[in-house]
Amino acid sequence: MLFQSDRLYTRFFTMDDLDVFYRLNGDEEVMRYIRPVKTYEECRIFLDQIIGWYDDVPRNWRVALVEKETGQVIGTFSIMPLTNTTDQHLGYALLKSYWGKGYATEVAAAGVAYVFEKLGYNSITAITDLANIPSQKVLVKCGFKPEIEYEENDRKVCRFRLIKY
């Protein structure tokens, strides 16, 4: 376990998680603002790659988000280097059946605390599609501030930042 909140904890993925990993990454609605959907085989390759990242430094973690009450994987949480910067990037995705329950805000807040307290970073970024208002609301609730809007891969995005005080 990397970190936990009241209802959730994070852990490293294993290949046993492939089916739920595919349910996330193969769902067009879940992936709408993240990346193109992946086939089952593409998910297998991607999950294998993710597991290989766990020993990398600097950390490049995409981990399983687990509901404590049921022990079910309900999504992913990531802390990764932001390309072409010295920043770390926070991200999350949840299965649709777990939307609207406050889990995204809960894991984002716990993830920020982990990044600041355990990893020793002084700031963290997050990037959302401009149309992804629910994710932007999560970030603002957690103290992130919009920093810059720009175009990336033919879509308009906003980079948010939270600085440790």
Taking the CA of residue 128 as centre, how many other CA atoms within 13 Å lie in the half-sphere pointing to its CB?
19
Cα(137)–Cα(132) distance, rounded to whole angstroms? 9
Positions in the chain short of pLDDT 50? none
For residue 135, which amino acid is it?
A: S
Per-residue confidence (pLDDT) for residue 108, from 0 to 100: 96
Per-residue confidence (pLDDT) for residue 49, from 0 to 100: 93
Q: Does the domain at residues 8-121 carry the CATH identifier 3.40.50.720? A: no
pTM score, whole prediction: 0.91
Q: What is the pLDDT of residues 117-149, one digit of tens each?
A: 998 899 999 999 999 999 999 999 999 999 999
3-class DSSP state for residue 52?
A: helix
The domains of the chain are located at 8-121
